Amino acid sequence: MKFATEKEVIERANKSEVGPASYLMTNDLARSHRVSGQLEFGMVAINTGVISDAAAPFGGVKHSGMGREGSKYGMEDYLTIKMIVTGGLAHL
């Protein structure tokens, strides 16, 4: 999409009701960090169309879903964290 300012294009992109993935093409490393940090999407690809990888967390935001699949982040949705405190037990 054509745009005049970064602010304009970020606002236009973020108006989407779903946020699975976005794609950014730039030769400016500082811009890539600045813009990708402001995009409301679960995944951002910079200068590539390939995002998915078994080791990478996969998922979106907004109406496209919350949480992640794959990687350690995807496992967290299936785990319950529990603290167990013990005292007075003899060593085995």
- In this structure, the strands spanning 43-46 and 61-62 are unpaired
Q: Calculate ∠ Cα 40-75-16, nearest 5°.
A: 15
Evaluate whether residue 81 is within a structural domain.
no
Q: What is the CATH number of the domain that holds 40?
A: 3.40.309.10
Evaluate whether residue 84 is within a structural domain.
no
How far apart CA 34 and CA 81 sit, in angstroms, is 34
Evaluate whether residue 43 is within a structural domain.
yes
- The pTM for the full model equals 0.59
Domain that holds residue 37: 6-76
Evaluate whether residue 87 is within a structural domain.
no
Residue 60: both structure tokens together: 């979106």
Helix, strand, coil share of the chain (percent; to 5) = 25, 15, 60
What is the total count of domains within the chain? 1
Task: Give pLDDT tens digits for 26-35.
Answer: 999 999 999 9
Evaluate whether residue 82 is within a structural domain.
no
Task: Give pLDDT tens digits for 38-73.
Answer: 998 888 889 988 666 666 666 666 766 666 666 666
